[in-house]
Amino acid sequence: MNLYRSHVLLCAGTGCVASGCHAVSDAFEAELKEVGLEKEVKVVHTGCFGLCALGPIMIIYPEGSFYAQVKAEDCKEIVDEHLLKGRIVTRLLYHETVCEEEGMKSLSETGFYKKQTRVALRNCGVIDPEVIDEYIGFDGYLALGKALTEMTPQEVIDIVKASGLRGRGGAGFPTGLKWEFAAKAEGDQKYVCANADEGDPGAFMDRSILEGDPHAVIEAMSIAAYAIGANQGYVYVRAEYPIAVHRLQIAIDQAKEYGLLGKNIFDSGFDFDLEIRLGAGAFVCGEEPALLLSIEGHRGEPRSRPPFPAVKGLFGKPTVLNNVETFANIPQIMLKGADWFSSMGTEKSKGTKVFALGGNVTNVGLVEVPMGITMREIVEEIGGGVPNGKKFKAAQTGGPSGGCIPNVHFDVPIDYENLAAVGSMMGSGGLIVMDEDNCMVDMAKFFLDFTVEESCGKCSPCRIGTKRLSEILEKITSGHGKPEDLDKMEMLCTHISKSSLCALGQTASNPVISMYKYFKDEYKAHVYEKKCPAGICKDLLQYVVVPEKCIGCTLCAKVCPVHCISGKVKEIHVIDQKECIKCGVCMEKCKFDAIIKK
Amino acid sequence: MKSLAELAAIKEKMKQNATMREDGKSATRIVVGMATCGIAAGARTIINAVTAELAKKDLEHVTLAQTGCIGMCRLEPIMDVIVPGQDPVTYVHLTPEKVTKIINDHVINGNIVQEYTIGAYEDK
């Protein structure tokens, strides 16, 4: 065989594709050919490393050099210096890995990676997801092989139960229990489905797993199928994840070719086949019954439960439906044991959780942390804090279904119960950081508008209630809010969450409830003083000239797009509030800080 | 896929990936000087010889790295063999034949080839 002395890992996840990794890859391979190193150096396209903010990312082994924001024109230098002469190109290294003295720090010592534990993401950024042998090289399909040849279905269920793994889609139902229900349910035909209908704005855990380690999901679904007695599975993934769909299809084809999907797997008599079903991107289709209906070819609408899918699911048959991240944990649990998994986390929430870190935070990206870590550790240490010297205000978990965690609860250990106790939820793992410049009324409106759009319309509390709630918030942010609107808003929130049919409606008012709970003053300022303390709501703010500072340079009048600033040279200028569209250009351009927002 | 043995065979074939992409602290490392002085003295043939030898002997757990000039340009080509837990051994004035012997004696069997080391050279 050919032995490579160096492996160059290039992230080909969606984040890095967007920042141009394909051009880097082409340039890099051309350079390798140019100097004749293509047989010595192997280029591997992997899934997401997590530090999406710094893409395109390249790691060169055996040194483990982590190059960030690599451009096509940097490739010649990397090849000539690093690969040919063995000199690490310090200027391109991720700044946290650069040491004052000689050498460089390994990635695991950097703030971003130090507190992470990668279980579900263990192969993301390590293997080439389009080559099944790479997955097998890292113990892939060993868990399935052992389950099929050495264990009974009940033993598999017992391990998953003992591990304490709970659903990572957000609700946190014990996975082992779900499997057991489906295993015990009567039925000539059973199904295993994966929920990859990741709909929260800002969440991309499932996408990254499917892009970076699709075989882990296939293997886990096969294990689940064996445990409950199913022979057919479906992955429900949204069509707007083209890279994930493409890699998953490659992985399924390769698994079929190897006989890891199909008939008589591992000569055990167990058959399992897997198909992809594309979703059109409706948020409600992440809801169990709606998702299953959509797979069947019907309109995705929720229905009341029970019966639960484990008893009566897809095509009316017992069905296990787990989230992608839940599945990604399964092979490791089978290989390393329930005790290993349950040794991580808190009393009731075991293992790790993947969060998609976004918003006003330095290291935007994907992180996997043990349960029980605090928000402070995630935002300040792993996330690198809030950029531009701003103050951390709150973090939203669970997307539009979750709530905000204000900085007073910054040190609460994160698990399912604690997040619910402070009025938020684990959710699927979106984590949006907000700083002092975010208006909490505006944020609540943003999340609510998303649910208004995505409400399927089947039940009226959700269809009409969220619309009315959004109108109240609109009133408040536009300065027409009355004191009684706040009471009406609270009451409406309670009604919507109590009477909606599915989780979409039941959780729709969570952002409003929690943001009102923790930032009441801000809501009141909008209503009573007609002021937006964060300076976001346009209707409530004014741009004014500070007479003492204005020298009459006329720049503001020149840049104003609606010509509402008047004044002569060397005279104090005045902004006509009636005409002002509050674009803020005058404040941005003024060299004397003579224009302020109030 | 009919058996765990079949799976294990594929894993074995891919073993190099695992050693290469882990932090590599546990693996034996061979580091070849590849600065201008090294290259001028023939370090490329040495790298090629090491790669070929590692592949031939199935030594996928050994990693091969390059380094810059360590200041002893007159002794190039130079390479270090670093076995975890032991002091690095520096070999100088290398030829492909010496590489074969070093990999066989030192890397595989753990016997340092004293006559090729920098110590032996300086005693001359």
Which is higher by pLDDT, B21 or B104?
A: B104
Per CATH, domain A440-528 is 1.20.1440.230: yes
Contacts of A64 in chain B (CB under 8 A): 23-24
Enter the pTM of the model: 0.88
Alpha carbon distance A77, A328 (integer Å): 38
Residues in chain B whose beta carbon is closer than 8 A to a beta carbon of chain A?
1-4, 7, 10-11, 13-18, 20-21, 23-24, 27, 29, 31-36, 39, 47, 50-51, 54-55, 60, 63-68
All residue ranges of chain A with pLDDT < 50 are 1
Does residue B124 register a pLDDT over 80?
no
Does residue B62 register a pLDDT over 90?
no
Homologous superfamily, domain A132-341 = NADH-ubiquinone oxidoreductase 51kDa subunit (3.40.50.11540)
Contacts of B35 in chain A (CB under 8 A): 85-87
- Burial letters A504-539, b for 16+ CB under 10 A, else e: bbbbbbbbbbbbbebbeebbbbbbeebbbbbbbbbe
A57: phi > 0 → left, psi -120 to 50 → alpha, else beta; which?
beta
A430 backbone dihedrals φ, ψ, rounded to 5° = -70, 135
Percent of chain A residues past pLDDT 70, beyond the cut: 99
- State whether A266 and B10 contact (CB < 8 Å): no
pLDDT band at B26; cut points 50, 70, 90: low
The fold of A542-597 is Alpha-Beta Plaits (3.30.70)
Alpha carbon distance A108, A118 (integer Å): 11
Q: Where in chain A is the domain with CATH 1.20.1440.230?
A: 440-528
pLDDT band at B29; cut points 50, 70, 90: confident
Task: Summarize pLDDT for B64-91 with one digit per residue, the tens.
Answer: 888 777 778 888 899 999 888 888 899 9
Does residue B23 register a pLDDT over 90?
no
CA distance B70 to chain A (A): 12
- State whether A85 and B2 contact (CB < 8 Å): no
pLDDT score, position B16: 73
- State whether A3 and B23 contact (CB < 8 Å): no
Mutation site for B-interface testing, chosen from A3, A9, A66 by largest number of B Cβ within 10 Å: A3
Nearest to A63 among B16, B36, B65 (CB): B65
Residue A288, C-beta contacts closer than 8 angstroms, at least 6 positions apart: A195, A305, A308, A309, A313, A321
- State whether A40 and B7 contact (CB < 8 Å): no
What CATH number is given to the structural domain containing B55? 3.40.30.10
Q: Where in chain A is the domain with CATH 3.40.30.10?
A: 6-114
Contacts of A79 in chain B (CB under 8 A): none
Q: Which two tokens stand for residue A30?
A: 């051309």
Residue of B nearest to A125 (CA): B21
Q: Which domain holds residue B30?
A: 4-123
What is the rounded average pLDDT of the residues B61-65? Answer: 82
Q: Which of A240, A414, A62 is nearest to B22 (CA)?
A: A62
Domain count, chain B: 1
- State whether A3 and B51 contact (CB < 8 Å): yes
CA distance A505 to chain B (A): 46
Q: Where in chain A is the domain with CATH 3.40.50.11540?
A: 132-341
Alpha carbon distance A591, A316 (integer Å): 69
A145: phi > 0 → left, psi -120 to 50 → alpha, else beta; which?
alpha
Contacts of B68 in chain A (CB under 8 A): 85-87
- State whether A136 and B54 contact (CB < 8 Å): no
Does residue B33 register a pLDDT over 90?
no
Secondary structure (3-state) at A594: coil
Residues in chain A whose beta carbon is closer than 8 A to a beta carbon of chain B?
1-7, 9, 40, 61-64, 83-87, 106, 108, 126-127, 133-134, 136-139, 141-142, 145-146, 149, 258-260, 265-267
Does residue B24 register a pLDDT over 60?
no
Q: Which of A512, A391, A366, A362 is nearest to A445 (CA)?
A: A512
Which is higher by pLDDT, A143 or B118?
A: A143
- State whether A62 and B4 contact (CB < 8 Å): no
Size of interface A-B (CB pairs under 8 A): 106
Residue of B nearest to A144 (CA): B4
Give the distance, in angstroms, between the CA of residue B21 and the centroid of all CA atoms in the same chain. Answer: 17
Alpha carbon distance A286, A236 (integer Å): 9
Contacts of B65 in chain A (CB under 8 A): 5-6, 62-63, 86
- In the numeric block, the tokens 């080909």 are attached to A12
pLDDT score, position B19: 73
Q: Which two tokens stand for residue A437?
A: 């410049």
Give the distance, in angstroms, between the CA of residue B80 and the centroid of all CA atoms in the same chain. Answer: 7
pLDDT score, position A336: 96
pLDDT score, position A98: 83
pLDDT band at B118; cut points 50, 70, 90: confident
CA distance B77 to chain A (A): 13
CATH code that applies to domain A352-435? 3.10.20.600
CB B2 within 8 A of CB A269: no
Q: Where in chain A is the domain with CATH 3.30.70.20?
A: 542-597
- Burial letters A420-458, b for 16+ CB under 10 A, else e: eebbbbbbbbbbbbbbeebbbbbbbbbbbbbbbebbbeb
pLDDT score, position B119: 84
pLDDT score, position A275: 97
For chain A, state the CA radius of gyration.
27
CATH class for the domain made up of A6-114: alpha beta
